[in-house]
Each structure stands twice: as C-alpha cells, then as structure tokens.
A and B are shown apart, each in its own frame.
Chain A
C-alpha cells in the first residue's frame, strides 16, 4: 500500500512540476556547458591554433600569419615522412600486441575470476601509472643491458655464451617499452566491455551446442568490439605520441614522430612542428570518427549516451 502511494506520487507530479522541469532542463544545460567550455578552451582552441600555425610562413627565426603549404611540402620526400611511416607501423605493432595481451587478461578477469579478485588485480594494473615513465624505461636499460640482470642470468645458466644485444636498444626494446606503457590502459575498456555482455547469450550458445571457441568467436568477440576499438584507440594514440620510449630504449636514434616534432621545435620551426602535429591529430580524429560511426557506444559506456538513440 505504501509502495503504491509512493508510485502514485511519482506518476502524478504536483502542478508546479512543469516550471521546475524547465528549471531542471536549464540547470542541466548549464552544467553540460561547463565541460564543453573546458574542452573548448583547453582543447579545441589550442588544436585550432596548431592547425593554423602549420600554414604560417617563416620569416627568419619568427613566423607570420599566412596561408603557406611550405611546411607540408617540406614533409613530403624528406626523412620526416619516413619517421611518420615508421611511427605508424610501430604504433600499430605495439597496439596489436598489447591488444592480444590485454584482451586475454581482461577476459580472464571478467569471466574466470571472482569480482572481488578482479577488482584487486585491476587496481594492481593501475600501479604502472604511479611510476614515473622515465624511471620505468630506465629500469629496463638496467635489466636488459649487456651486463644487465637478464643477460647475466642467461649466461650464468649457460643458455648463451655472449650477451644478447637485441634485448636493449632495439625494435624489441621499443615494443616492450610501448606495450608495458600502454597495455594496462587497454585492459580497462576491454574489461568493461566483456563484463557487460549478457551471460545468457553465452549460455544459450553453449546450450545450442557451440564449442567454447565458436561461442567466443561468434558471441563474445563481436559483442566486445566496442571495447576492443576503445582499447586499440587508447593504445594507438599513446604509442603514436610516445617520445620517451624511443629515446631511452631505442638505441641508435630510434626516431618516432613525437621526437621529430620536438627536434623541429629546437630550431624554432614551429610551423613544421605544427604541420606534423596537425597530421597526427587528423589521423586521430579520423579514428575517433570511425569509432563513433561504427560502434554503438552505449554498449560500452552504458546509458550515459542514451540521447544518441
């Protein structure tokens, strides 16, 4: 009886609710504006300026407003285009590798482990964020160097006669650095996405006689794709912009796009740095657009995005 009364109260709001609803709508709009203003001032405006400056002309050491394609032209055919290409390849490799690892971990945590345990493990995966990235990368050089722990152990165990040079200052080391830097980021969206899949679908698939692999391939994987794409985006964006890993672990001038942007700013070539940055930003935006168009984000972000339906 009490419950019914309560429901009735909600169903029949007092007569002043219309006005209050308006106020609420306005309040909501104003609240929504705050993040929009924040994003506008701190993200859209600087990015717009970056794109604008990439078309500016250099005049001696300074630069002046103009519409010049000089910076973009100097990119084409130069070494920087190779750097961009290599950055894309390395970022793709690292993202793919991280994705496989992160998916396995997230799947295990979401499906095979008690929620309480999963929470603890997830918290542990935030620990890498608490360690300074330089400390993390430098400790790899201590571990993987010619006289480092790993090589010493391998040689002491008689597995190798001489130190393995490819452990450090190599493609391997860069991949290791990138994967360990960004893979933990990728576990979280994957965990959310896999965890949100209705278990009844999986059970139904099993009851209908599908093997676990078929169930995974036809049910779990497709339904977790929004999380996969979100994770891939996190990883890719991070890897493409990374500049410390190649510097510390890359060896002989393992130059990625972040490094070449910094380097061009060393000679005050801001339009060129802006042009390189604009290209990278454009790539990212295209990826975001792809994500937005292809996936229904509600399955990943829940009802926050209900308005889109």
Chain B
C-alpha cells in the first residue's frame, strides 16, 4: 500500500520572515530588587518579607511572542529576547507552575564533553553561560564545577571515551581519559578493584562539569525576564494554536485567547502535542526517566559519577543528599509513576560502584518525561509553519542546554536567521538525512 503523496515538505522550514528586531527595549518601569549581603543583614534584623521575585499579570489579548513552556528553556528564551534584543512584549505560558516539568525533575548535571564537534560547541557555550549566570541574574544558582567522570567498564566504552576526549580537546573543552588509580584519588569510596562484575578500566574526566541548583536557575531566569517586562502566566494551558494559511495567528488557552505571530514551543514531554496543534509533525518519542534521592550525609563525593554500562549517575548535592538517575524507561509513556523495578536496579548498580553505600536510605523517587529523538540531538529552529518555532526533543540532556537554547532561540526569533550554533539541529535534518548522532555521549550518562 502506498502512502499518500506528501505535497508539502513535512519537516523543511517555510520562509522565516518573523521580523521583530525593530522593537525598542523597555522594562515597563519595573526595576528588580538587588540581592546583596547588606540586604540579607537588613532583612535579618527587620524580619520583613522579601519582595516577590516575579509579578502576576492578566493575560493580554495579544503578544509579539508567545513562549509555550515555563521551564528553563522557555524562561531563558524570554529573558534573552528581552535583554539581548529588546523584545519585551512576550508571554511565557505554563500549564502548571514554572519549573514543574523537566526543569524541576532533572538531576542538575552540567557538562559539555559531547561526541560531535557541533554538539560540543553548543553545550560548551551553555557551560560558559552557566558559569556567569548567578552574576548575570543576581540570583545564586550555586553552580559547582566539581568535575565529571564517565566510567568505562569495557574496551568499547574506553574507545568511545578516547574518541570523545580527542574531539573535546580539539574544540578547546577540558577532557581527558584517566586510569583507575587517578579515579581512586578523586573518589576514594569507589570500588576500583579488578575482581568485580564490571571492573573500571578508566574514565573520561571532564573538570568543568558539575551540578547546579536547578530550581534557582528557573527562578533566576523568571525573575530576570519579569524585570525586563516579560509576562509569566502559570496555570495557563495551551489548548490550540491558530494557523491561518501557513502562518501562526494565535494561541488558545484555558485562560483566554491570544493573538500572536510567533509561538515558540519550549515544552518537554508534551512537545508532540503542542506541535500537533500547529500541524507540525515531529520526530519525537516520549519516555519517562526516573531518578531518586537519598537522605543527606556528610560531604564525601565531590565529582559527578556516570556509568553508561550500569545505567546510573550519582552526585552529592550541597545539602548532602545523593542524587541518582538512570536511563529512560524501556517503553514510551506519558505516565510519571515510579516503579519498584527502577529502585531495585538502581540500588544494585550504585552498590556495584560504591559498596559502602549499602546502609543509605532513599528519601524519594520521581519521574520526568524525556522527548527522545532518533539521533539523540535536539530539534531546534523553524518549522514548515511560519511563526511556529520549536526548541524540543531534549531527551535526557535538556537542562544543561537551557541557557544556550534560550540565547539562540531568542536570536532566531529576533532576526529570523538561524544561528550557526543550532543550524545542525533543524527539523529538516530528518528529511535531508543529515542526522547528528550523539548517542555515544548522550545515551545514558549526562
């Protein structure tokens, strides 16, 4: 049976005339509160309430730009639109509260030791933005660059590590392969003996990698965007996208309709559903990913530990809890229920690496939704519907790309030209066949 002939391109972008770059910067007369040591002291004495970090607005009937999804990607895009390009008539919509999706469910790991030169350049820009984020936003995101270790338990993993290390170095990213002795020095509690089921042969050591306080990143961007005049609408669910001809003309929500020419889909988990509303076909499958956290203990684990073979990654937060993550669940689902299978498997794998954790107790487990693409790279940029832009398909690596995604998507909206950094991640790559295979660096460990 023959498939119906595709008249119009399914994936290829339509013309890109968005043209919003003629707007002037405005902050609506609102100046954000400056946090400082002096104010901390002052509030300590006066016990006065801190001012609200962002305001609540009524939904206007039209906006220049509507961002769907109030996570780190959507809020960063709105922030950079306002700050870098002076486009402040922007609404960020979230069906729940901001940061209630992947931005609040990830394991907060930041790194740029990817496999493809395009991927490395992109994520490295994100690390650079994260490094100065607290100062930029005047909001402490507590980025701790403690180093990132990806363990190799067999020859083929070690080969991929060497490959990654060499491409990383070529792109100016600090990465090297180290042996079990050096691993033991960095993580004394690690079982680096040879007589275990999965002996550790080496690791890819990435010193700039680390962890951050993910909620603070979301709140910091929300506060920064708000200060520039962006409207943040929580509990506002998008129910439809109006497309007239092949151009976006509006967004329907459960709080009212909005007229707009530009919609940016910054959702994770529900990215297919939002794209479906605009009639744009996606190359995304949604899988749950589970994570768990232990009770807090004294600091003993400095770097982030990742094992692809054992499907586990471990880091210790500033509060002392151990955060564990795994690979995605084995089948697609929009369900965010945890499973006993996950905790069972996870515990076994963690003990394989660090047997001394046997008495640790899990506090809680949760799941988030990951939009997996066939090549483990995101889908960013223009679509066949003019004015409908996507920043989706973030699989298990969306959080670490938040700042750079916001920066580049803002540039795309403002100028109508796809920035070089995200050109390889266009939706049209699935039609041209130019896939960006990033599985070797993104599949399990992140």
Q: A and B, one complex? A: no
Give A residues with C-beta under 8 Å from B.
none
